C-alpha cells in the first residue's frame, strides 16, 4: 500500500496539530553525538527520515529509545562502525553525522548520502570546509574516510549560503580548539533551533539567526532535554491544501513567526489568514486572484520546499503566474504529473510558467520526491473525481500521517 487515494472536489473544514519539525529534528539528533550522556528530544515527528536517523545512531553504538514523539539518546557506547547503507543512501541529512563524529571521536567512514533527487547537492563544500578545520579526507567513487587529531577553529567564508553546510560546520566547531567563524551562514529557523539546543547544552555561539556565526569551542557539552518546534513546511502544506480545495481550517501550533514569506504569498493569492496564540486559521483563496511571481531563496525568502504546493495554487488561480527556482535545479519534477491532471505548465531553465485555470481532473500520478508528492495530494483534493498518488514512501519522509491529518481537515482520502 504505497499510494494514497483522494476523492476530490470537497471543501476542507476542521483542525489538525502540526507535527514537530523534520528539518530541526535531524540535526539535533546528530548533535546528540557530541554529548556524553543521555539527551531527551521531545516532539520528534514519527516520519521515515527520523527512523533512519535512529538506525544510524544505533549503528554507531548509541542506545535510542522512543516513547511516542520523545526520543531518548544515550551515547555511552559510541564508536566508529559501518553505518547501514540503506539509511545513508536514502537520507541526505546523514551528512550531518560527519561534523559531529569528527568532533567527538575524530574519524568517520561513510558512503555518499542520498535523499530526494531534486538537485546535485554535492558535499564538496562540506569536505572542503572541514579540511580547513584540520580534517584529513580520502575520497573514492562510493564514499570517503575522514580523520582528525582534533578539530581546529577556522575562519570559513562560504561561496554561497547552504543550510546543510552551516549545520555541519556548527556541529564540528562547538568542541573545536579555538574560534570558528562561518559566513555567510544560513539563517533558517532550523539553524536557530540547532544553536538553541547546543547552547542549552553549554556551547558558546554568537550570531544565531544572522548570516555570521562565531563559535567558541568548549571542552564538553552537557546532556539536556529539548523540545523541537512545529514544522513550518508541514503547516504551509496544509495551508496550501485549504487554499486549493477551499473551506476553512485551523492549524494548531503552526509557527507563524517562521512563515512570513509563505503567509504573505497566501494572502496575495486571496487566502485569509487569522492569527491566534496557538496557531493560525486559514480560509481558501479567491481563485480569481493570484500572486504572479514567486522566487525561491534562502530564509527569509520564499522557501524552496513550498514551491511545489504553491505551483498547484497558481495552476488553480485565475491569473496563473511564474516561479523561479534558485535553490535546486531539478525541483520541477512535479510538472509532468500536474499536466496529467489538466494543468498547463511549461518550464524554461529554472523558471516555470503556469497558466491559470479553474479546475483540475483526477488522475493516477507518481510522487517523485517529498514535497512534490505532497503537492500532488493537494492538487488531487481540488480536482474533479478520484486520484491516486503513488510512491507514498517519498511523502512519508516528511509527514507523520498525511492521510490522518487531511481527514482531520475534512478531506476524503485513504491509503491505497
Dump pLDDT digits (tens) for 119-131: 445 788 999 999 9
Query: In this model, does residue 176 exceed pLDDT 60?
Result: yes
Asked whether residue 209 falls in the same domain as residue 285, the answer is no
Q: Dig out the grid coordinates for 111 from the structure.
A: 558512503
CB 122 within 8 A of CB 194: no
The verdict on 11 and 88 lying in the same domain is: no
Residues 237 and 337 in one domain: yes
Beta strands 225-227 and 38-42 are: parallel
The verdict on 197 and 264 lying in the same domain is: no
- The pLDDT assigned to 404 comes to 98
Average pLDDT over every residue of 237-244: 97
Do 35 and 154 lie in one domain? The reply is yes
CB 335 within 8 A of CB 307: no
What percentage of the chain exceeds 90 in pLDDT? 84
C-alpha cell at 129: 570546509
Q: What is the pLDDT of residue 119?
A: 46
Domain span at residue 89?
22-227
> pLDDT value at position 132?
97
Q: What is the pLDDT of residue 319?
A: 85
Task: Say if residue 19's pLDDT is above 50.
Answer: yes
E runs forming strands in 309-397: 321-324, 344-348, 351-355, 364-366, 386-390
What CATH number is given to the structural domain containing 39? 3.65.10.10
- Per-residue model confidence (pLDDT) at position 14: 98
pTM as predicted: 0.95
Cβ atoms of 120 and 162 within 8 Å: the answer is: no
User: Can you give the pLDDT at residue 84?
Assistant: 61
Kindly tell me if the per-residue pLDDT of 41 is higher than 80: yes
The alpha carbon of 238 is separated from its chain's Cα centroid by a whole number of angstroms, namely: 15
The confidence score (pLDDT) of residue 267 equals: 94
Residues 342 and 216 placed together within one structural domain of the fold: no
Which residues is 42 bridged to in the sheet? 227
Give the tens place of pLDDT for each residue, 277-334.
999 999 998 766 666 899 999 999 999 999 999 999 999 988 889 999 999 877 899 9
b/e string for 241-276 if b means 16 or more Cβ within 10 A?
bbbbbbbbbbbebbbbebbebbbebbeebbbebeee
CA distance 298 to 180: 22
> How far is 158 from 161, CA to CA, in rounded Å?
7
Q: Are 281 and 250 in contact (CB under 8 A)?
A: yes
Residues 260 and 171 reside in one and the same domain: no
Residues 176 and 222 in one domain: yes
Quote the CA–CA distance of 162 and 143 in Å, as a whole number.
Answer: 21
* pLDDT band for position 114 (cuts 50, 70, 90): low
Flag whether pLDDT at 118 surpasses 50: no
Domain boundary among 185, 207, 227: 227
pLDDT in tens, 374-411: 999 999 999 999 999 999 999 999 999 999 999 999 99
276 to 64, 247, 273, 351: CA distances (angstroms): 36, 18, 10, 35
Give yes or no: residues 162 and 239 share one domain. Answer: no
Q: Verify that 261 and 188 share a domain, yes or no.
A: no
Distant-in-sequence, close-in-space partners of 352: CB < 8 Å, separation ≥ 6:
311, 322, 323, 325, 332, 335, 345, 346
Mean pLDDT of 263-271: 94
Question: What is the greatest pairwise CA distance in the chain?
Answer: 62
pLDDT per residue over 60-86, tens digit each?
A: 999 999 999 999 999 999 987 666 666
Q: Does 245 lie in the same domain as 223?
A: no
Residues 12 and 69 grouped into a single domain:
no
Catalytic annotation, residues: 116
Per the structure, the count of domains in the chain is 2
CA distances from 349 to 60, 324, 331, 352 (A): 42, 9, 11, 8
Q: Please identify, among 180, 205, 227, the residue that sits at the C-terminal boundary of a domain.
A: 227
d(CA 126, CA 168): 7
pLDDT value of position 71: 98
State which of 210, 227, 244 marks the end of a domain.
Answer: 227
Amino acid at each position: 500500500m504505497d499510494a494514497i487515494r483522494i476523492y476530490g472536489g470537497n471543501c476542507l473544514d476542521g483542525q489538525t496539530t502540526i507535527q514537530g519539525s523534520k528539518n530541526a529534528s535531524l540535526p539535533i539528533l546528530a548533535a546528540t553525538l557530541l554529548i556524553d550522556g543521555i539527551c531527551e528530544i521531545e516532539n520528534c515527528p514519527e516520519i521515515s527520515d527520523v527512523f533512519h536517523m535512529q538506525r544510524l545512531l544505533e549503528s554507531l553504538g548509541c542506545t535510542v529509545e522512543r516513547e511516542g514523539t520523545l526520543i531518548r539518546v544515550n551515547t555511552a557506547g559510541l564508536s566508529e562502525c559501518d553505518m547501514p547503507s540503506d539509511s545513508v543512501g536514502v537520507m541526505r541529512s546523514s551528512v550531518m553525522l560527519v561534523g559531529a563524529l569528527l568532533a567527538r571521536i575524530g574519524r568517520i567512514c561513510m558512503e555518499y548520502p542520498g535523499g530526494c533527487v531534486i538537485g546535485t547537492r554535492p558535499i564538496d563544500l562540506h569536505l572542503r570546509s572541514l579540511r580547513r578545520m584540520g580534517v584529513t579526507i580520502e575520497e573514492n567513487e562510493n564514499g570517503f574516510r575522514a580523520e582528525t587529531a582534533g578539530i581546529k577553529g577556522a575562519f570559513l567564508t562560504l561561496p554561497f549560503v547552504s543550510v546543510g553546510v552551516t549545520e555541519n560546520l556548527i556541529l564540528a566547531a562547538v568542541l573545536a580548539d579555538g574560534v570558528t567563524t562561518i559566513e555567510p551562514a544560513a539563517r533558517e529557523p532550523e539553524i536557530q533551533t540547532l544553536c538553541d539546543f547546543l547552547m542549552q547544552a553549554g556551547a558558546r555561539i554568537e550570531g544565531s539567526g544572522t548570516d555570521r556565526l562565531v563559535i567558541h569551542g568548549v571542552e564538553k557539552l552537557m546532556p539536556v532535554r529539548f523540545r523541537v518546534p512545529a514544522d513550518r513546511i508541514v503547516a504551509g502544506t496544509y495551508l496550501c491544501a485549504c487554499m486549493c480545495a477551499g473551506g476553512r481550517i485551523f492549524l494548531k501550533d503552526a509557527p507563524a513567526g517562521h512563515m512570513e514569506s509563505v503567509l504573505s504569498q497566501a494572502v496575495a493569492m486571496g487566502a485569509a489568514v487569522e492569527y491566534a496564540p496557538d496557531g493560525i486559521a486559514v480560509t481558501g483563496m479567491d481563485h480569481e486572484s493570484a500572486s504572479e511571481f514567486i522566487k525561491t531563496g534562502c530564509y527569509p525568502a520564499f522557501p524552496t520546499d513550498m514551491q511545489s504546493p504553491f505551483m498547484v495554487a497558481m495552476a488553480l488561480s485565475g491569473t496563473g503566474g511564474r516561479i523561479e527556482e534558485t535553490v535546486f535545479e531539478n525541483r520541477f519534477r512535479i510538472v509532468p504529473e500536474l499536466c496529467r491532471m489538466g494543468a498547463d505548465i511549461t518550464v524554461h531553465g529554472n523558471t516555470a510558467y503556469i497558466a491559470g485555470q479553474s479546475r483540475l481532473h483526477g488522475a493516477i500520478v507518481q510522487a517523485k520526491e517529498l514535497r512534490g508528492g505532497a503537492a500532488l495530494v493537494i492538487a488531487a483534493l481540488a480536482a474533479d473525481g478520484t486520484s491516486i498518488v503513488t510512491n507514498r514512501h517519498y511523502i512519508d519522509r516528511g509527514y507523520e500521517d498525511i492521510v490522518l491529518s487531511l481527514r482531520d481537515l475534512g478531506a476524503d482520502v485513504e491509503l491505497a
